[in-house]
Structure 1
């Protein structure tokens, strides 16, 4: 039984903690990505953040309301866009201290419903896009910098998410292998693995309001802490891995309210 189902409030942060640091956040226009951008700029970091949708980029920029955040329209599945993003990061930031690879898309499809097109779409965004984002941007990361992937808490499985779960497991593998490859440059590579998190889309494409409400109810019931996590909690964990966890690399950190451990069941 949980004793507190309320969502925590955000704490006041030192606006100078990350002054002079530079970051790129992919998939930064909504939800967890936007929260990561806000957490970085609140601490004084300069941030380039990406999205594919011009309207969402404009809405995010209005919400952030700071010159420290700079929107870039970029599609992680497009190699030309990734090359342009790397060039833009080099020109405007001069290099990168922190890279957050956060873009993702999920679709609920049972075995018989999955098509080659839907499979490719999910793997292109989540797996291929994540890997090649790092390939293009890693040369810009400073010695002692870090990369944080966003994966998913996969210890408890929902039916209908074969492609999504598989793609995110691939990203978790990338984090471990790239941690080894980039070790000689002093670059740490980790992943944050969210459980049930309250976001505008709930991480699933084209949910109706009724489906979203049902998803929230199921998520609250299946999370031992009795509630969904907040995007601010994911951002805090991601920044911990990127900035503070200086003796941690090759780790996937579950941020799931005990979901993956079956606590209380």
Structure 2
């Protein structure tokens, strides 16, 4: 699990879970490229990582942004050794209150964005490279109000199953890391005024008795991305304290 001199691209790497993943990679010697939509967050992330890090503003739901991103990466490094397709979003809306705009936002980021991120990165990836896509336990247990979000994460599982066949023999691995609830600001913001109560309920569902911490997800991603997992391909690894297993 060492990434010395590896070129690692983390989408949505300027805050929250993405930043924790980027920090884990940086601590293991990676040359980082992070993306995000907000310039100020990207600047703060670069300052905090303390590693050779390049920030490129990009919206993964915009194919032209992704084309520009990969053109810049190719000019800078000529390759990608590890891609972490982390950029994603969620909104709570129960059946009857789902809007077309919300549906499109979530699918465009979580499914379209991941699809064209992976497709755009592949030409820069050689044998031994690795892709880790960030899913969610919502793919199998979305809970009330998270049907659309959960559907996007279930779609990622189906995509990975097909993609490993599409690129069979390339030597590039694709795996899915699906966290349970993680202690991030984005989770608290999504839960709004009910955050404390819901987090307590989620903690009780975990066989470990708490929700996850961002750095724990970062380590799990690093494992799947590393040569330590060289014979692991096409899996969905749940990192949720055992909640999805009982």
- Tell me if TM exceeds 0.5: yes
- 2:9 maps to what in 1? 24
- Tell me the distance in 2 between the aligned counterparts of 1:71 and 1:203: 26
Does 2:21 match 1:36? yes
What does residue 46 of structure 2 align with? 61
Point out where structure 2 has 5 or more consecutive residues left out of the alignment: none
Q: Figure out how many residues of one structure are paired with residues of the other and give that number.
A: 244
* 1:176-255 matches, cutoff 5 A: 176-202=161-187, 205=190, 207-208=191-192, 210-243=193-226, 244-255=228-239
Which residue pairs with 1:120 in the alignment?
104
The DSSP-based 3-state class of the residue aligned with 1:189 is: strand
Q: TM-score with structure 1 length normalisation?
A: 0.88
Aligned partners of 2:38, 2:205: CA distance in 1, in Å? 33
2:96 aligned counterpart, secondary structure: helix
Unaligned runs of 5+ in 1: 1-13
Deviates more, 1:252-261 or 1:53-62: 53-62
Which ranges of 4 or more aligned residues in structure 1 deviate by more than 2 Å? 154-157
Question: Deviation of residue 204 (structure 1)?
Answer: 5.8
Residues in 1 aligned to 2:194 and 2:46: alpha-carbon distance in whole angstroms? 29
- The corresponding residue for 1:10 is none
Cα distance in 1 between the residues matched to 2:105 and 2:161 = 24
Q: Does 1:149 align with 2:133?
A: yes
Q: Give 1:174's aligned residue.
A: 159
CA, structure 1 residues 164+117, in 2 after alignment: closer, same or farther (shift >3 Å)? same
2:77 corresponds to 1:90: no
- Cα deviation 1:107-148 (Å, max 9, x = unaligned): 110001101111010000000100011111111012111100
Q: Are residue 134 (structure 1) and residue 130 (structure 2) matched?
A: no
Contact 1:180 1:250 in 2 (8 A): no
Contact 2:85 2:131 in 1 (8 A): yes
- Residue 75 of structure 1 deviates from its aligned partner by 0.3
Q: Distance in 2 between matches of 1:252 and 1:144?
A: 19
Partner Cα separation in structure 2 for residue 19 and residue 261 of structure 1: 35
Are the aligned partners of 1:24 and 1:100 in contact in 2 as well (CA < 8 Å)?
Answer: yes
TM-score (norm 2): 0.95
CA contact (8 A) 2:140 2:154 kept: no
